[in-house]
Chains A and B, each alone.
Chain A
């Protein structure tokens, strides 16, 4: 019950919002996720409890954006105090969602929540007040790239919520950056709703500092003929959990996911994905890469659900893992649940180390072992990083990663 007490001692609780009340009520019956459930079985219990140890913070400390803006047109938003947007341009408009609309949408979402599966969202919404919620609707064409930053301050637990509606025929590049400071916990929940014919190139880059924790939950609903590309990168967290739930509500949509997680020291980073096809002709191509070094633990669990209605679904899922140390461990569980018969579904998983033959080849050409390893790693990382939109050219993520490793 500690977590409930903590939420209740939160200052903003005096004027609890309707959403907070609903979520608190749901959490009251089972405050923590069931540690035996598939979604939480491998989660490190003590790390999860450290995540919840910090006191809830409503106010953000000063935030420095990690890299410069390259073009004036890029729209930058930091979720937190006074974050508002209302833009009406010639070709497009971005409008803040009214509180009523937000509440209505969130309530709809909560009604479909499963206590274990959506525990991160329940926690987020019960902690979050309106000022840490950003919701907007995008319509039109030629929309400039959007960058959204979320961060946690030192020694505190921050919860941020992002809701984006994409109207018909709309096309955006969206980069979400989640940053954790020393000894902090960030709970980020994102809800994306793609209407017909819309398309999103979505990048999620999350990295922390010493002892930072992250609960990152992403819920996407795709209407027909929409296209959703997700490139994600998570590294340098004591404990991080990235949950992706995508529903192709009427099928006939395309989803591409390329994700990567890098763990070192005694970190634990996990990715859970659930892709549901609720209509025919859906398409999914997913690759998830993990790299585990030192005493760390990387986890991937991906499920693809193809009910009877989802005929002619074409889904593939690949989990590729590099295990670089004998004390590190990797768990991977790609899974298929299929009832429709006219489908093409496949998945694959590999766990290996750096390719010795390739290393040997490079060394015979005078490249040192360290350099050769970096070259191999860079090709391993590059596939994912090149899929992350907006910042990939000027924010040299690859160098950042290689220097880390």
Chain B
């Protein structure tokens, strides 16, 4: 038997992104009502169509009920006890990064995010979002040369209002679900990406979301549009300081891929997960959806979910275009008292559409990890195919792993395959590795990383390495 004490003795690595940046910030009062929404809109100097969009969403949200179908248990959220807008105080208009408050730059440096442009070697353009606003976007000129627009959504509202008006809310309508409606009403910032026809984005684009304030929620909104024959790889990372209260994060991500376009969206989510007793942590309720509008378009989601006290997230693909492709690769790790209900939806509407789902869940401690997925083949989706694989690994006898795949087919000329398995760390393999002189911890970490390899292979290289390290760190002290 695995020696439980051996592992429990291992020193636990604290959450290293848990620091708070001491910076003066501008917050509005707590609570949610029409005036607050108007105030947010006014602060961001938004056009009327956006204010109308927000107010309409708010009206819908008021009539909606918080969903309770997920296998999650958490104390009721008081939506009036949240600050819906918080921004670090800085000069009105920033023309270069030199004008950004050095404390902010330092924060992102500490997080390992290269905002200063001398770090060009990494070749990743970053949009850094701090609480409710975007701080800086790097490599803008280089991207502009190729016609790529990469900026915060607030800037896009001013500079590219036509695109925002045309696409905002077309993939995730305001009335889609409770959290999407809330986000539509109060979203503060986020990223906007537009890749023109025929352009392959010259570098990876990245957004880094940082929650700094303990009493404000984060409601970012991301919109990515890939025109015909274009392609882009987008990375997203998230961290938050340690607070003993729960912070709400309700984001919406919309992707649109036209003919022959391809979007790859990768996430490493490492929000603060609360302590061992389950105190504090982020409540992460996210709606992510991509629309493969064009023929042969492709949207690929890959995610590594290690943080948050509660995760409620189902990145989905609407496969409308003929021969369009949807992919979902996910690793979800829960430890201590974390709860995750995550998965995907693949809705096949157009003919000859294909989707692949690979989901790996690892539950340790007293955590709860559920995969919930929907594969639906509509009546017009002739010749469509889906393959799903959901594997769960249980570490310790207090953790739980659930699998809820919903499969619906209305088209006889289509094929759906789903398989799922649950296992634990194999003692034989562990013994083999240990007998070859590999330390116990390292052996477990090797096996976990092998378990997740199918997903890590899909991540951009620097992310894959980070994800691998993150998993090893998160699992320290939990194996037994």
Contacts and interface: CB of A to CB of B under 8 A. Distances in A.
A384 to B, nearest CB: 20
A255 interface: no
Interface in A326-347: 326-347
Contacts of B404: 333, 335
A87 interface: no
Interface string B395-426: 11111111111111111111111111111100
Contacts of B419: 346-349
B268 to A, nearest CB: 26
A321 interface: yes
Contacts of B412: 323-326, 328, 353
Given A337-B400, A353-B412, A348 B407 contact: no
A379 interface: no
Given A338-B392, A339-B400, A349 B406 contact: no
B396 A346 contact: no
A296 B379 CA distance: 14
A315 to B, nearest CB: 9
A336 B422 contact: yes
Interface in B288-305: none
B413 A331 contact: no
B415 A321 contact: no
B344 to A, nearest CB: 15
B403 A351 contact: no
A98 interface: no
B416 A339 contact: no
Contact of B420 (A328, A347, A351): A347
A339 B379 CA distance: 38
B405 A350 contact: no
Contacts of B377: 351
A292 to B, nearest CB: 9
A308 B398 CA distance: 7
A350 B422 contact: no
A337 B422 contact: no
A351 B414 contact: yes
Given A328-B412, A331-B408, A342-B424, A336 B401 contact: yes
A350 B415 contact: yes
Interface residues of A, number: 34
Interface residues of B, number: 34
B391 to A, nearest CB: 9
A337 B398 contact: no
Interface majority SS on B: helix, strand, loop or mixed? strand
A335 B398 contact: no
A343 B407 contact: no
Contacts of A349: 405, 407, 416-419
Given A323-B412, A338-B392, A346 B406 contact: no
Nearest to A323: B412
Interface string B175-218: 00000000000000000000000000000000000000000000
Contacts of B403: 334-336, 347
A283 to B, nearest CB: 15
Contact of B394 (A325, A330, A334, A341): A341
A338 B422 contact: yes
Contacts of B406: 331, 333
A308 B397 contact: yes
A344 B391 CA distance: 11
A349 B416 CA distance: 8
Contacts of A353: 412-413, 415
A73 interface: no
Nearest to B424: A341
Most chain A Cβ neighbours within 10 Å, of B399, B411, B413? B411
Interface in B362-395: 377, 379, 392, 394-395
B376 to A, nearest CB: 10
Most chain B Cβ neighbours within 10 Å, of A327, A341, A353? A341
B394 to A, nearest CB: 4
B407 A332 contact: yes
A352 interface: yes
A293 B379 CA distance: 14
B75 to A, nearest CB: 22
Contacts of A323: 409, 411-412, 414
Nearest to B419: A348
A331 B407 contact: yes
Contacts of B416: 349-352
A344 B423 contact: yes
Nearest to B388: A349
A330 B379 CA distance: 12
B69 to A, nearest CB: 8
Nearest to B403: A336
A336 B418 contact: no
A338 B417 CA distance: 22
B18 to A, nearest CB: 29
Contacts of B414: 323, 351-352
Contacts of B409: 321, 323, 329-330, 351
Interface string A256-267: 000000000000
Nearest to A330: B409
Contacts of A325: 412
Interface string A132-171: 0000000000000000000000000000000000000000
Contacts of B421: 345-346
A346 B420 contact: yes
A344 to B, nearest CB: 7
A276 to B, nearest CB: 14
Nearest to B380: A326
A346 B422 contact: yes
B447 to A, nearest CB: 14
Nearest to B412: A323
Nearest to B396: A341
B199 to A, nearest CB: 39
Interface in A297-335: 308, 311, 321, 323-335
B49 to A, nearest CB: 35
A339 B403 CA distance: 12
A335 B71 CA distance: 13
B389 to A, nearest CB: 10
Contacts of B405: 333-335, 349
B418 A348 contact: yes
A44 B398 CA distance: 39
Nearest to A305: B402
A327 to B, nearest CB: 8
Interface of A: 308, 311, 321, 323-353
The 5 closest A-B pairs by CB, nearest first: A341-B394, A346-B421, A349-B418, A351-B416, A345-B422
Given A347-B420, A350-B416, 6 more contacts: A311-B397, A321-B409, A328-B412, A331-B406, A332-B408, A342-B424
6 contacts: A323-B409, A323-B412, A326-B411, A339-B398, A346-B422, A353-B415
Interface of B: 377, 379, 392, 394-424
